[in-house]
């Protein structure tokens, strides 16, 4: 078992119970990614004077619902008060926004900062808190990531968290456009706030 430590004051469940539930909800590579995101989030928290335990927990649970079946997502979106427009977009964006439902239900985490960071981790948003940025960037630069530009992304992010957010959004937008994928409006809006150098 990978080293993983966070003081958990955000759920009536113990850290060990959270870890066990998360492990049971995903395959081993996804779990290992979550551990690395947790560790990277902790590091970014330290650099940015944010609560390291909270960042580590938020990073750990960010993809909790990544492997929930599509049928279950559709049911939750239809019955649990989510924007029905979500059904018109790629399932890739559901595990953040709708993932918060499963995290509340299964992991009993109700802290709104943690849930918002999970909600925003795939698309970013116009407004982002320090924790939102930490989780968003930890997900992008964790040591297991390997894509052209990842080293530059790491350098930029460790030097300046906001600049990292701008880097990631520009990178993701070009990646999605290259593949002619549908782009969720929130991703566009976030790009216009965080990635623009001058115009």
* C-beta closer to ligand GDP: residue 4 or 93: 93
CB of 96 to Fe ion, least distance (A): 6
- Cβ-contact 35, 64 below 8 angstroms: no
Would you count residue 150 as binding ligand GDP (CB under 6 A)? Answer: no
Q: Is 16 in the site for ligand GDP (CB under 6 A)?
A: no
* CA distance readout (Å), 161 to 101, 103, 106, 171: 28, 26, 31, 15
- Choose the one of ligand GDP, Fe ion, none that binds residue 183, judging by a C-beta under 5 to 8 angstroms depending on kind: ligand GDP
Residue 32 touches ligand GDP, criterion: CB under 6 A: no
User: Could you give the count of Cα atoms lying within 13 Å of 176 in the half-sphere of its Cβ?
Assistant: 19
- Please report whether residue 123 would count as binding ligand GDP according to CB under 6 A: yes
Q: Is 110 a binder of ligand GDP (CB under 6 A)?
A: no
Candidate segments 38-46, 102-110, 152-160, 183-191, binder of ligand GDP by CB under 6 A = 183-191
* Among the listed residues 15, 19, 63, 156, the single contact to Fe ion using CB under 5 A: 63
From 2-10, 40-48, 115-123, 153-161, give the range in contact with ligand GDP by CB under 6 A: 115-123
Region 58-97 residues binding ligand GDP, contact defined as CB under 6 A: 63, 66, 90, 92-93, 96
- The answer to whether residue 22 forms part of the interface with Fe ion (CB under 5 A) is no
Binding letters toward Fe ion, positions 121-160, x by CB under 5 A: ------------------x---------------------
Cα–Cα distance for residue pair 180/178, rounded to 1 Å: 5
Residues in contact with Fe ion by CB under 5 A are: 63, 139
């Amino acid at each position: 078992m990978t080293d993983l430590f966070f003081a958990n004051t955000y759920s009536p469940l113990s850290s060990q119970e959270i870890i066990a539930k998360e492990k049971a909800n995903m395959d081993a590579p996804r779990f290992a990614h979550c551990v690395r995101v947790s560790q990277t989030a902790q590091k970014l928290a330290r650099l940015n004077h944010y609560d390291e335990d909270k960042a580590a927990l938020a990073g750990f649970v960010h993809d909790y619902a990544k492997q929930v079946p599509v049928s279950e997502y559709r049911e939750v979106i239809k019955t649990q008060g989510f924007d029905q427009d979500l059904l018109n977009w790629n399932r890739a964006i559901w595990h953040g926004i709708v993932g918060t439902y499963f995290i509340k239900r299964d992991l009993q985490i109700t802290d709104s900062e943690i849930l918002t960071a999970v909600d925003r981790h795939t698309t970013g948003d116009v407004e982002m808190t320090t924790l939102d940025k930490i989780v968003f960037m930890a997900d992008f630069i964790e040591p297991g990531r390997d894509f052209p530009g990842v080293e530059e992304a790491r350098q930029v992010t460790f030097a300046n968290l906001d600049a990292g957010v701008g880097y990631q959004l520009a990178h993701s937008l070009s990646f999605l456009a290259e593949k002619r994928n549908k782009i969720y409006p929130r991703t566009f809006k976030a790009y216009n706030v965080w990635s623009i150098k001058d115009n």
